A and B are shown apart, each in its own frame.
Chain A
Amino acid sequence: MIDTLRLTAEEAKRLLEAREISGAELFAAYRAAIDDRDEELHCYLHLCDDPGGDGLPIALKDVIGTKGIPTTAGSKILDGYLPVYDSTVVERLKAHGLRILGKTNTDEFAMGSSTENSAFGPSHNPWDPSRVPGGSGGGSAAAVTAGLAPWALGSDTGGSIKQPSALCGNVGLRPTYGTVSRYGIVAFASSLDQVGPVARTVRDCAFLYSIIAGRDRSDTTTVELPQPVELPHAEDVRGLRIGVPRELNEADGIEPGVAAAVQAAIARLEELGAEVGECSLPLSVEYGLPCYYLIAPAEASANLARYDGVRYGYRAAAEERLEMYERTREEGFGDEPKRRIMVGTYALSAGYYDAYYGQAQKVRTVIKREHDALFETFDALVSPTSPCVAFPLGARTADPIAMYLCDLLTIPSCMAGLPGLNVPCGLSEGLPVGLQLIGPQFAENTLFRIGHALEQAIGFDPVPERLR
């Protein structure tokens, strides 16, 4: 009997290679778990049949284009869309023999922090189904935690991998901007979007990253990794200097239970040999969120212009062309994409461009410089990933700004193109608390090393109590 709740990808790979289990048995075990639990959790929007072979199964966030497999981005406007080509990351997974279990739920166009903006209904947190799994990649994160996939891919613009991983209690990496191809990914905000892995262990996360990372000639913003991915094994962090930015650790709204779990983990890092020091990001945290909520909607308003009912996706019935465009977009988009399209269009419109978008791009420079300066002293920075644990469904849907604040701590480093790793570090109110590790560009190996050592030392049980 395969226990998909505890099986790591690394162990599954070993069992397959030793022929202790077959590829078909492994795939079937995840399908059985999905049949068993996904009616309640709604992690998947679409399930795939076993294509055969002995590779590991994987779940993909539904913004990742898959040839011949529906790709909706959680939006009615892409309902029924069947991509005619694979995204580069999917080509790389297939080249490694990986088999797609299905497509996972997401806030519409990855805009949200709870999956409640999905046009197909929210996903639920495996620790407590009355609560959200985080977002936008809540489907991928909940699927991994609930044993409905050994690992998954997500995408992160301002926290959509790290925040759901924090709320579901698993490991999620937002890679350095440019290390993973965006070719074939449904675009949200192109200067911020990054695909990345979600897994049950840091080693699995690192391994999956090694498969998808690297330059792609179909995405000219990609670069080759300066050094290969190293699977972490050391159980200490001796010689590493870790900074604790005051503003990221003491921000208004960080729940006491979250702060306590993160502080305990920081103390653990010191015991493991790290040199820990306080530091400051005075402007990045204060101005990060307003900066993000100008740049991301501005880029989104341009990217979402392609949904016009002409070439693919939903088309509303209309007599005239302009009417067709406007009605298609009115009926096809949900509230959050509309809000962001409107904010972005306004911020880019004549007379406002310099004051909003131009100024936000300068703030972005300030944020990047502040982080760069800290990395002259520190190898990595640490903070909570999310200010709060998983919150009840419906708790933040009425107030867009309350939802935006979920990403307060993940956004600043995203603006600077930096990698960030979420590692579970304990429980608060019986729900997982995530710790965020931020490194300089291309420092994924350092983050994996720290994350792995911490994971071993803490011994967090990633299986929700109610499923044990």
Chain B
Amino acid sequence: MSGAAGERVFARIGVVAIDREQLLHVAHLARLELREGELERLQGQLNDILEAVSKVSELDLSDVPPTSHPLDVANVWEDDEPRPCLTAEEALANAPEREGDFFKVPPGGAA
């Protein structure tokens, strides 16, 4: 499929391009340490993608309710009874590092 077909499907409408500062902010929210080079490449691709998906804003849907789930299911209730669950040993089996029954992580740093 050509780029031209892509443009027709994902119509280009004006959106504010994401700048380097915003990109770094989003990367921090997502806890991704982007490298130089990667940052520039991602900035271009992200702008293309965001421009493409912002096509959804063409429609006036103020009266339409959102769908978060495709089935009409309401709350599902279960009796509050204990069931078998993972042992501490199983839960820790894949830990990169542990100390006793704890996952061990490096200290400090914000959240």
Residues of A within 8 A of B (CB): 81-82, 84-85, 177-178, 191, 217, 220-221, 223, 251-253, 283, 286-287, 289-291, 293-294, 301, 305, 308-315, 318-327, 329-330, 333, 338-339, 341-343, 345-347, 349, 355-356, 358-366, 368, 387-388, 399-402, 405, 408, 415-418, 441
Is A356 in contact with B32, judged by CB distance below 8 angstroms?
no
A335 to B55, CA, bound (A): 24
Is B106 in contact with A339, judged by CB distance below 8 angstroms?
no
- For the complex formed, measure the closest distance between the CB of A440 and the CB atoms of chain B, giving whole angstroms: 12
For the complex, would chain A's binding face be called helix, strand, loop or mixed by DSSP majority?
Answer: helix
A217 to B73, CA, bound (A): 14
Question: What residue of chain B has the Cβ atom nearest to residue A178's Cβ?
Answer: B71
Residues of B within 8 A of A (CB): 1-3, 5-6, 8-10, 18, 22-23, 26-35, 42, 45-46, 48-50, 52-57, 59, 61, 64-71, 73, 76, 78, 86, 90-91, 93-97, 103, 105-111
For the complex, would chain B's binding face be called helix, strand, loop or mixed by DSSP majority?
Answer: loop
Is B73 in contact with A323, judged by CB distance below 8 angstroms?
no
**Residues in A whose Cβ lies below 8 Å from that of B28:** 326
Among B6, B71, B105, which residue has its beta carbon within 8 angstroms of that of A321?
B105
Is B10 in contact with A289, judged by CB distance below 8 angstroms?
yes
Between A and B, how many residue pairs show CB distances below 8 Å?
207
Among B18, B103, B107, B110, which residue has its beta carbon within 8 angstroms of that of A310?
B103
Q: Which 3 pairs across A and B sit closest by C-beta, in order of nearness?
A: A417-B70, A322-B109, A312-B94
Is A356 in contact with B54, judged by CB distance below 8 angstroms?
yes
Q: A290-B53, A343-B53, A405-B6 are in contact. Are A362 and B64 (CB under 8 A)?
A: yes
Is A329 in contact with B106, judged by CB distance below 8 angstroms?
no
A12 to B90, CA, bound (A): 37
Among B29, B32, B56, which residue has its beta carbon within 8 angstroms of that of A330?
B32
Among A325, A368, A401, which residue has its beta carbon within 8 angstroms of that of B49?
A401
**Residues in A whose Cβ lies below 8 Å from that of B61:** 359, 362-363, 365-366
Is B57 in contact with A313, judged by CB distance below 8 angstroms?
no
**Residues in A whose Cβ lies below 8 Å from that of B97:** 315
- For the complex formed, measure the closest distance between the CB of A357 and the CB atoms of chain B, giving whole angstroms: 9
- For the complex formed, measure the closest distance between the CB of A214 and the CB atoms of chain B, giving whole angstroms: 14
Question: What residue of chain A has the Cβ atom nearest to residue B63's Cβ?
Answer: A362
Is B35 in contact with A320, judged by CB distance below 8 angstroms?
no
Question: What residue of chain A has the Cβ atom nearest to residue B90's Cβ?
Answer: A84
Is B95 in contact with A312, judged by CB distance below 8 angstroms?
yes
Is A84 in contact with B49, judged by CB distance below 8 angstroms?
no
A97 to B46, CA, bound (A): 47
**Residues in A whose Cβ lies below 8 Å from that of B35:** 330
**Residues in B whose Cβ lies below 8 Å from that of A402:** 1, 3, 6
- For the complex formed, measure the closest distance between the CB of A225 and the CB atoms of chain B, giving whole angstroms: 13
**Residues in A whose Cβ lies below 8 Å from that of B29:** 345, 349
- Extra pairs beyond A252-B5, A310-B103, A402-B1 (10, CB < 8 Å): A221-B73, A289-B9, A329-B31, A342-B42, A345-B26, A345-B29, A365-B65, A366-B59, A401-B52, A441-B71
